[in-house]
Structure 1
Amino acid sequence: MLRNLHKIPGLIAAILIVVITLSGAVLSVLPAWEVVAEVPARPGAGLSVATLADRIAITYPGVEQIKRSPSGKIIAFYFDGGQPGAVVIDPATGVGVADAQRSAFARWMTNLHRSLFLDDAGRWAVAAGAASLLMLSVSGLMLTARRVGGWRHFFSRLRGPLTGRLHVEVARFSVAGLLLSSITALFMTASTFGLIPEAENPPTFPRAVSEQTGAIPGTMAMLRDTPVSALRELTYPYPDDPTDVFKLTTDVGEGYIDQGTGEVLIWADAGLWQRVNETIYMLHTGQGAALLGVVLGLMALGAPVMAITGAMLWLQSRRARPRIKGNTPAGQADTIVLVGSEGGSTWGFAATLHRALREAGHTVHTGAMSEFRPERYACAAQVIVLAATYGDGAAPASAKGFLDRLATLKAAPGLSIAVLGFGDRQFPQFCAYGAEVARVADENGWPSLLPMGTVDRQSPQEFARWGHALGEALGHPLELLHSPVIPQTQALTLISRRDYGSDMQTPSAILRFALPKTGRFGRLVGRGFARFSAGDLLGIIPEGAAVPRFYSLASGQADGFIEICVSRHPGGLCSGQLLSLTPGDSVQGFLRRNPDFRPQANARPVILIGAGTGIGPLAGFARANRPGREMHLYYGARHPDSDLFYGEELQGWQADGRLASVTAAFSRTDTRTYVQDALRNDATRIARLISEGAQVLVCGGRDMAAGVAEALSEILAPAGLTPALLKAEGQYVEDTY
């Protein structure tokens, strides 16, 4: 529901919101421009309205009104020879110094922003846009809090694809201004159409006047006692009409003055409601608060960025997430299926389960784990959780906040639970997040529908076996026939290869593929290989297999090619197929982004640690490094004569400053050392770099990564630090296999 509240208004009103916010951003800087670029002299501290009026009358005897703008500029409106005029006044002399008419551009932009050039119908349309913007801002705040695991983590570091992170980061910056602008816009629209009173007790035009004329403003006590700094407007009586009067409006109220006697006929102090109206006008326009206007204008520029990234996210989600047909509302379903997915593949399994349960007679609601609300499950008998594991046992994107809500439930509802974990047994934290969900549910007293199951590398066979067990627990057969959705692939043509490891009987190679061509729209939305960085993953589906294999990229899009390091694994379908390629051959591949495994966007040092083909992305980081950023490489291989990947490049990158140091360890030489030994030998420098905020990036086999973690634990112990603590801060990141 919350996602729909955010998505639907955004898609429908996107263009309208972009027009409103961009025009509003332009208008918001005009008050600041007026302050710094125009010529309005400011009145002296002791100058009264009476003195100002007398000075203006000398130069402009036909003056009809004197106004003071929120920026402090004094404007006189007058008639001269039957022609109206308006000038900016120098209050020291009463002489005009500039034309007071707004520029044609400012008038055009104002009409666009207020009414889209459509008068009242346009004002209602703009109000609808403001209401949509308000709804988007509120729902976006709630969705962001849900994504990061609660309000206390609202400004925590984000993970996931660049488009999603950019969307949220811009929202964090802009949402306060967009909330303020949309609320004040709706208030002003209601005021324009008379839905909100402008003042509690406005003074009524006096019935009894002296019907005398000729009093000079300089002699009127009220005008002598009113400083120009408090003036809003002084309106003169209509010429030759003895029944008309002066009208004075100030910061503290408004009233009427007899034009013959100079006496105040009636006065009303400004009430609270009037001050509220004026404050809202100031907050929306920036008039009287130029700096606020500039800040709001900058925040408004976030709306077009969010509109573009939001549309891109919607398109991406349409491709990645299958449509769940017959999705019963949560309050009416007897079975709740909750999905925790990072890249979208787990949703495909959820769609298969949803369909099978419906065919078996269940009413089913399927949604993200982040939408977990047991108080809504009025008719449910069981909750089934399909949970992938992100990285080192962390929650995937669509499961943010689930464990916190599960752990804080006061009592377990009358629901049984089943948990199915998705992962890859090559990784040390196989299905760790799913196991944590099952553990917390058990500790909180949830009845278990069946023991936790696991699915390795999206295996349809393991999913089907778990389905049989689930059917037995539910009391009826359940056939889960799942065909994984393979991402759209592109042909990658090998242009060069460098072979290594033949002397060590471990054939391996650096394979470089040509960058596929991408159309303009594909580049805009980031489709295919339009945008990628070293550390992202190349997915290859080996012949005769349904599950892709992934290789860390050693190049970025700016390099103009796709490069990976491959080592033959015994019985490995994919590695064997790749190593059999010769230049000119092609293989089908696709891109999966891995935004968390890359150097952070700051100037702090970076420590790269890898072994074997794990040097691939590390070499890509070094290739893309800017000279001046301290980057150290610790690398383990079998033998320098046969396994030293990127040997010549490493020397060149060290010579030009992209690498501050390169330390290699070889396990098949007389010295027989490993990369963790190299770390211990350099413990002083390692400890110093990490204390200075250095980020540690580790890539390679999980046994190597375990040895590296153990060595760093020893090195960091005197400082009270651990790899686990650094991981929690995003200062230590692994990509292991």
Structure 2
Amino acid sequence: MMFKKILFQLHWFIGITAGSVLMVIGLSGSVLSFREELLDLMNPADRIADHGSAVQLTPDQLLKKLQAADAQATLQDPSKASQPISQLTVFADPQQAARVTFAPASGAKRGETRYVDPFTATLLPPLQGDAFFNFVERLHRWLLLPKDLGQIFTGTFAMCMFFLALSGLYLRWPRRVFAWRNWLKLDFSLKGRSFLWGLHSVLGTWVLVVYLLLSVTGMYWALGWFKDGANHLLGETPHETAGPSVKKKTDRKKEPALSPSASTDTSAIDLSVTWQAFLNEANKIGGYSMARIRLPEQQGKPIQVFYLDAKPEHERARNEMLIQPDSGKILKLDRYADKSSGDRLLNSVYPLHMGTYFGLPGRIIIMLAGLGLPLFGITGWMLYLDRRRKKRTAKAQRAQLTHTSAPSTNAALETLLIAYASQSGQAESIALRTAAALQATKLTVSVQSLATLDAEKLRHFHRVLFVVSTFGEGEPPDSARRFSKQLAHTANAGLPHLQYGILALGDSHYEHFCGFAHTLEHWLATQNAHALFPTIEMDNGKAHENTAAMALWQSVLQKTLATTATSSFSMATPAKSSYQTWHLTERRLLNVGSHGAPIFHLELHFPAAEKPNWESGALVEISPRHAQERVDVFLQRFAKDGQTMVQHEGVARTLADALSRSALPHAIAADTIPQQITDHLQPLAARRYSVASTPEDGSIHLLVRQVGHEDGLGIASGWITEHAEIGQEISMRLLANPGFALIDNDAPCIFIGNGSGLAGLRGHLRARAHKQQHRNWLLFGERHQAHDFHYREEIEQWQKNGVLSVVDMAFSRDQEERVYVQDKLRAAADTVRKWLHHGAVIYVCGSLDGMAAGIDAVLVDILGEAGMDDLIAAGRYRRDVY
């Protein structure tokens, strides 16, 4: 795991530093891939005209005509005298221009190259656009730097591309290696970061081999030590090691430069015997396609001819002949076909780099790979910036904690500690806002989670504010479970010097409202600590009481803790997501024939083009309504007209509509007018459900089980699963669920749930599937496999494509002895330890009683109390239970 983290850091660091230059190299390489075709388009007059039955001039005739024309021009204007001809290149195809290269002028590294009509020996005009492509070639090969320095840079960037390709392969390596869809399938339905990651990783896999080939061949051309090593490894020395250039159709390739001191005198050289000797030998093997004649510096010296067979393997599959010009004797014949495999490979480096080794398809692939480098650079940057933005947000939130936490012992006595225990993140948010407001009054504040505190640490503070949530029936939040156990075992912590205040968050629908806060309050009292003010309770289920509690909290803090009477003390409340109108578009019964209560898959769409965003694991809070029949019975019972208009919650509605949104009164006086009824209505309690989808799905998916009571269906579940019509508006809002948030890396995840708890797990699994993070283990429990295997096709598909590494299903009533999900977990104890050893995070979603409690007990048996506490403190045990 550590190695993978280091490799990831290196991958993105090299990607964002070398990526821009690699984009330039890739684009310039793509331009050069079809250099000749582009030059042909830019120079249509350069094409060789059809000369009918005329015969091409031989090299000897071409040479003599060129020399005669040069001599004539020199007589007329001596300043127009050309340098001696050093090389002459001709082609068997009459439509290809011959080429003549002159010796370099004094002080020049390379002589001028001109193209020649092979029928008339007429010099063709210089190519339009050739200077541009020369510029692009220098950019591609040397980054416009001096050659020696430029080669070092381009070779280094080629090494970077090699590393990026291999490290990228390692970082995205799936567990199911042979599931090809994991490697190559790009899901265009994804959005946002998931789609960017898909582009970056999947397309990167498509061109991985191409980039490895380009980087290795690029290093061979640019880095001398790499070339020497490759040559030594293959035990060969390539015949020609001139740098890469382009040759196709008219073979407009730059020739190796002659020494500036060369002064070839070609005026008396006769090529007729040499050419005939060459043709005789070349025709023995089917002829030739290109021949380059390098003229000797002195008359009588052997003439060197490089040539390609009539159908060469590639443009560097060259043969070499050394011919005595006066006798036509072949002194040396070195054929490409006779070379060793290592020598042929070395001579193929350039065609491999350009793609010409594989013909036109290879050139197209190389061009597309070069054009793709900006795609990888841009998506890499966007992924990096998105990751950095998220880290910056997290760091900003932690900075306040880090800046004020863990003061020294002496300083702690003067520091106000704000301790929080949060299940959904609300208590933590309030603690941070409280700290910011108190810091503005010049107080020194430390904000810490109860997960990091114990009785001993509390002894070092004089004043503590507790902002604590209660979970379920009086239980502490998961993060505070260790602290709660310590309270029970700490008889006397010696805290008579401690002053404290408590803000208790809870839900009055539970019998033990704010139970954990009151347990904490009782313990502090037994330790002789002193309350700064009575405990303030906040009911999350009642918005108006929530606001009043926050106002009271702010008021008492200002009175008891503000350093001066004129201190500005303000706790800005972050904007809450407001209720929005969604449309119910699909409702499907999933457990037809089940002995359990009906469970439905629901889909809700947001009508606007710009849809809300959420993270997997989020919740929705639905504002339910009564069934119309129930409202009609109420209106009939009290003889009221439901169509009467009233003012309700600041909006004009019919009385029937207002009643459908409210708790129905048990009785009303006969003379009570509709507006008076409305004024005393209490809103129906909102209900929360786990989201079973991700933003990439384009809609909210819910998994809701109908709840039955003696007097009918539950208000919220009955409304959403039965009474609401398809297409009807549903008022709801999205809520973050940080205590159940998905980790932002690819560490293993164990997902455990039962019943409708599969919703929260499904949301996380779909998010992990979008990111192609495949180390996932699902343990799920229901009644019967035949009727209660929710999302069976999707789960089985995740098994096939590797999203789910392990699946354990517990169908309790499919055998005589009941088997539950906690039993499956206990049976896999060794595997649990192994996954946790590799950094796994456990997610539990479903019923609190039975399943969640059973999972807790099994994990304690497997890990021990201390191990379980450590898992919770590390944020690796996350629950969404109800």
TM score, norm. by length of structure 1: 0.42
Asked which structure has the greater CA Rg, the reply is 2
TM score, norm. by length of structure 2: 0.36
